[in-house]
Amino acid sequence: MKITWLGHSAFHIETAKAKILIDPFFTGNPAFDETKRKEATADLTHVLLTHGHGDHVGDTIAIARETGATVLANADLAAWLGSKGVKKLEMGNTGGTIHFHGFSTTFVNALHSSAQVTEDGVSHSLGNANGLVLHFEDEPTLYHMGDTDIFGDMALINELHQPEIGLVPIGDRFTMGGAVAALACQRYFKFGTVIPCHYGSFPIIDQTPDTFVAGMDGAKAKIEVPKVGEIVSR
């Protein structure tokens, strides 16, 4: 498995059977290198969305049109994307699992909101915010937490899915901050690899992962802090 952080909460996951984008926020993401867009979408098979905010839905509509990739999202967000012309949609909701060739995706809880603001300034709810657990046939199980705070039922997510790789938001203000994210990882999970995200992209969130890394001191998990565009292999 090759995992590439594309800035903010956007990741590219490559396995022998799939090329997946999670929360492909490219346009307007100051951390993303637009010259890497074609590379990030080449031979893409799936786009997976944790929730409906613009910094996570990102370029999904354009990417789906350009690549023909299948888009997975919660039912309300998927219906909205369909109204915008996205053709290949798989919808689900919290607790549900969608099976694809070579992997499955389960919607799990996240403590956050999910909406889009229209041009007239009205906010439209787009279902629940979720984390996504990806089970692969021949690769480690991966958990993208989406945007969330810590919550006790993370222990159930670990019990049910036993994720080996955690993609963890740490930026504070809109998600848990670094110290709380570290507590979540250490108290509720037995990750082998942890990659922090949702930091460094905008001035109002934490700019570095330092607080998170310090909080993970002594953890058994390997803490990977890749540069944007750098590949982590598992």
Name the pLDDT band for 156 (thresholds 50, 70, 90).
Answer: very high
pTM summary value = 0.98
Residue 170 lies in a domain: yes
Cα–Cα–Cα angle for 217, 31, 140, rounded to 5 degrees: 50
Residue 232 lies in a domain: no
Give 114-125 pLDDT, tens digit per residue.
Answer: 998 877 778 889
CA distance 15 to 13: 7
CA distance 132 to 21: 12
* Residue 181 belongs to domain spanning: 2-226
CA distance 224 to 170: 13
Name the pLDDT band for 219 (thresholds 50, 70, 90).
Answer: very high
Residue 123 DSSP SS3: strand
- What total number of domains does the chain contain? 1
**223 phi and psi angles, rounded to 5 deg:** -95, 115
Residue 77 lies in a domain: yes
CA–CA distance from 119 to each of 52, 114, 124, 202 (Å)?
16, 17, 11, 22
Strand spans (E) along 29-164: 46-48, 70-74, 89-92, 97-100, 103-109, 115-117, 123-125, 130-136, 142-144
Cα–Cα–Cα angle for 51, 107, 153, rounded to 5 degrees: 105
What's the confidence (pLDDT) of residue 118?
76
Residue 107 lies in a domain: yes
What's the confidence (pLDDT) of residue 14?
98
Kindly state the DSSP code that residue 102 receives in the 8-state scheme: T
What's the confidence (pLDDT) of residue 15?
97
Quickly list DSSP for 148-164: ----TTHHHHHHHH--S
**49-71 average pLDDT score:** 98
Residue 138 lies in a domain: yes
Residue 231 lies in a domain: no
> In the sheet where 103-109 sits, what is the strand order?
97-100, 103-109, 130-136, 142-144, 165-169, 193-197, 222-223
Residue 8 lies in a domain: yes
**90-97 average pLDDT score:** 98
Which residue shows structure tokens 């307007």? 28
Give 170-214 pLDDT, tens digit per residue.
Answer: 999 999 999 999 999 999 999 999 999 999 999 999 999 999 999
Give 125-148 pLDDT, tens digit per residue.
Answer: 999 999 999 999 999 999 999 999
What's the confidence (pLDDT) of residue 88?
98
What's the confidence (pLDDT) of residue 46?
98
Query: What CATH number is given to the structural domain containing 126?
Result: 3.60.15.10
Residue 184 lies in a domain: yes
Of 21, 32, 4, 11, the residue nearest 201 (C-alpha): 32
CB 24 within 8 A of CB 46: no
Answer whether residue 230 shows pLDDT above 90: yes
**45-72 average pLDDT score:** 98
**217-226 average pLDDT score:** 97
